[in-house]
Amino acid sequence: MLGIFASPMSFFVSLLLFTIGAIGSLIAQKDDALANWWGGLFAIAGSLGGLIFATSAMIVGNSMSFSLGALTFPLLTFSFHVDMLSAFFVFVISLIALFCSFYGIGYVKHYYKKYSIGALGFFYNLFILGMMLVVSSSNGLFFLIAWEVMSVASYFLVIYDRKEQSNLKAGFLYLVMTHIGTVFIILAFLLFYTYTGSLDFEVIKSGVALIPLSIKNIIFVLAVIGFGTKAGIIPFHVWLPSAHPAAPSHVSGLMSGVMIKTGIYMMMRIFLDILQPIPTWWGLTLLIIGSVSALLGVLYALAEYDIKRLLAYSSIENIGIILLGLGSALTFSSFGMPQLALLSLVASLFHTLNHSIFKSLLFLGAGSVINETHTRNMEEYGGLIQYMPQTAFFFLVGSMAISALPPFNGFFSEWMTFQSLFQGIAALDFSARWIFVTSAGALAFTGGLALACFVKAFGVTFLARPRSQEVLHAKESLPLLRVGMGALAILLLVFGLFSGFVVSFIEKVGRNLSIFHSIPSFVSVLPNQSPTIANFLRVSGPTFFAFIIVACIAVALAIKYVIHRNQEIRLGATWDCGTDLTPRMEISATGFVYSLMTIYKGVLMSRIHHDVKYFDEKTGFLQKSRTVTLSAKDVYQLYLYGPLRKLAAISSEKVKNIQSGNIHTYIVYIFFALVVALVFAL
């Protein structure tokens, strides 16, 4: 039975469903509702298909290679290779796409009559299709086509709300950055081709001995920049905080939850599978990149007052944490410690899965809030828990999971990442050891700051009193939206409580990689226990959770029924010091982080900007209003991308000089170009 589901056929069925969804909703675009339901339902069906395929492929546990017809393009074959790592990523993509699609059907309704729903359905399905192809293709050229499908489809989704000028700008930045990344990827693939004579990943892998070390190193740098741009590592992240918020919220959820992970997938594929064995400095470099991304990502998230930008920056932080796991995996494997390498890889994969769930949940929650209040500015929220209690609850669960609070799943993957770093500190020496110490320190501070960040995100949005009129009209989100969010919230708890089971599954995925084939398992597979590693004690999820719940309920019952039976709870106003307490007096998003931003001034370059309006412009005695903005300076724009852009503009200006407009000159250029090409070719 499982064999049928784990066959190429079922994968193609899933791909076909997305294709039908894409084309169908384009055809049905005259009718908004039809296009929406068509696109949404086929996306759901396709995701279900992908989910069934991936799950059974992981249970069966064999690798599949298959191709789509025999096309006779040079170098290009539509060949797929699905091993367990690919199946795992297909699983993550399908899982998130499933719930985002549920949410999307309800969410898209407010775009009716405003924009073309058919186009949205088309690009949405195409986007998921592209991601599925990216993680399953096994030919370099085919991969690049899939990569482009994914990037371009998501570009159109980013600029979907095109009446907003800033969205167009964000989309353009995204398009440029993603193609700069692609350039580096193409260069890496060309180097593969030069030395192994093939673009097929399997062939490259078997011929990896032909690639000299220096070229391997160059490929590493190219791949880190190329795939790191997609993953959003600092300093190639600049597109991420502007593009992710611009898209419709269920698409933001997919982009932040899943799309950036395709970069991680390719890093794992190339560094841990294809290019083995690897030098030590690769892993250490990834550790440093991971620490920087995690720490800076969370600091920038803290400084944000736009709720979706905050979540986007927090994605950068989590990519950093994933890279900490991956970096230690690479380091351990280069030192010949496959057991520890496997542990770190599993930590990294587990965090990939977890982050995709809680980040999409948080984006969906933010989408519901924005839908009701029509603003992304957190200063204008407040008190939403009274108006949208269920959305608030789901957002709370997401916030707890992302802050790594037990018993939710985020804690367990962060625990494993910590453990693999600790193992590195204990097992390695000298410089490698100090990089592990630094990484563990970065992760520790990141954890604390993430907690502060999400206390702010939840507290300022949902608690206290409404700070704008819009909040007073907010209503609970539609049932379909709540289904999407609720299911994800349940998954957070389930994956947390049964983390031991999930980890043993992911460990199987990791051991499918050829370098880990022969090593013994580190997981004691008991259904309700987390991994036991050497003498590090297990963390038992369900028991602990039950203990906390029992303790809280016992205390509550004891107080209610034993200590004081006829208690009276009166409602009263919050103590106001004798003045009239207005919502303007409660803490704002900016106020909440003021002290942390002042403390981290050196890193954030935070500055306060006062914008004062006067009744009397000339004399300036009577202030009308005063707006205070506390923000982090955009150093990347200022010192890296700004100068680069200027350089590009100046050099283009210089190159323009050779364009005389005279046809004879151009013929001479062509002649010289031909001669130079021939010299190189012969």
Scan residues 356-395 and list those touching another protein (CB under 8 A).
Answer: 382-383, 385-386, 392
Minimum CB distance to another protein smaller for 40 or for 290: 290
What single string gives the DSSP state of each residue in 382-397? --HHHH-HHHHHHHHH
CA pair distance 105, 99, nearest whole angstrom: 10
CA pair distance 106, 224, nearest whole angstrom: 38
CA pair distance 423, 609, nearest whole angstrom: 46
Minimum CB distance to another protein smaller for 343 or for 404: 404
Report 464-523 residues binding another protein (CB under 8 A): 464-465
193 forms part of the interface with another protein (CB under 8 A): no
Minimum CB distance to another protein smaller for 558 or for 677: 558
Using alpha carbons, list the distances in angstroms from residue 104 to 119, 158, 463, 479, 588: 14, 15, 26, 12, 31
With CB under 8 A as the contact rule, the residue among 221, 288, 452, 525 that binds another protein is: 452
With CB under 8 A as the contact rule, the residue among 422, 614, 636, 641 that binds another protein is: 422
Minimum CB distance to another protein smaller for 278 or for 523: 523
277 forms part of the interface with another protein (CB under 8 A): no
CA pair distance 42, 16, nearest whole angstrom: 10
Minimum CB distance to another protein smaller for 544 or for 672: 544
CA pair distance 636, 118, nearest whole angstrom: 37
Are the C-beta atoms of 467 and 380 separated by less than 8 Å? yes
CA pair distance 70, 82, nearest whole angstrom: 19
609 forms part of the interface with another protein (CB under 8 A): no
- Residue pointed to by tokens 């719930």: 99
Residue 203, Cβ density class (10 Å: 0-12 exposed, 13-18 middle, ≥19 buried): middle
With CB under 8 A as the contact rule, the residue among 183, 444, 638, 674 that binds another protein is: 444
Minimum CB distance to another protein smaller for 9 or for 555: 555
> Cβ 151 to another protein, closest distance in Å?
36
Amino acid sitting at position 12: F
> Cβ 480 to another protein, closest distance in Å?
25
591 forms part of the interface with another protein (CB under 8 A): yes
> Cβ 339 to another protein, closest distance in Å?
16
Report 526-545 residues binding another protein (CB under 8 A): 535-540, 543-544
With CB under 8 A as the contact rule, the residue among 13, 76, 191, 405 that binds another protein is: 405
CA pair distance 243, 240, nearest whole angstrom: 5
556 forms part of the interface with another protein (CB under 8 A): yes
CA pair distance 680, 542, nearest whole angstrom: 66
With CB under 8 A as the contact rule, the residue among 455, 493, 525, 605 that binds another protein is: 455
What tokens does 510 get? 């990791």
594 forms part of the interface with another protein (CB under 8 A): yes
Q: What kind and span of H or E run contains 608?
A: strand 606-614
Residue 638, Cβ density class (10 Å: 0-12 exposed, 13-18 middle, ≥19 buried): exposed
Angle, to 10 degrees, between the axis of helix 338-373 and the axis of helix 389-402? 150
> Cβ 331 to another protein, closest distance in Å?
18
Are the C-beta atoms of 267 and 316 separated by less than 8 Å? no
DSSP state letter for 29: G
595 forms part of the interface with another protein (CB under 8 A): yes
205 forms part of the interface with another protein (CB under 8 A): no
With CB under 8 A as the contact rule, the residue among 72, 165, 567, 662 that binds another protein is: 567
Report 36-95 residues binding another protein (CB under 8 A): none
With CB under 8 A as the contact rule, the residue among 354, 419, 512, 606 that binds another protein is: 419
> Cβ 552 to another protein, closest distance in Å?
3
Minimum CB distance to another protein smaller for 549 or for 675: 549
Q: What kind and span of H or E run contains 64?
A: strand 64-67
418 forms part of the interface with another protein (CB under 8 A): yes
Q: How many residues interact with another protein (rule CB under 8 A)?
A: 81
Minimum CB distance to another protein smaller for 17 or for 284: 284
> Cβ 590 to another protein, closest distance in Å?
10
CA pair distance 21, 27, nearest whole angstrom: 10
400 forms part of the interface with another protein (CB under 8 A): yes
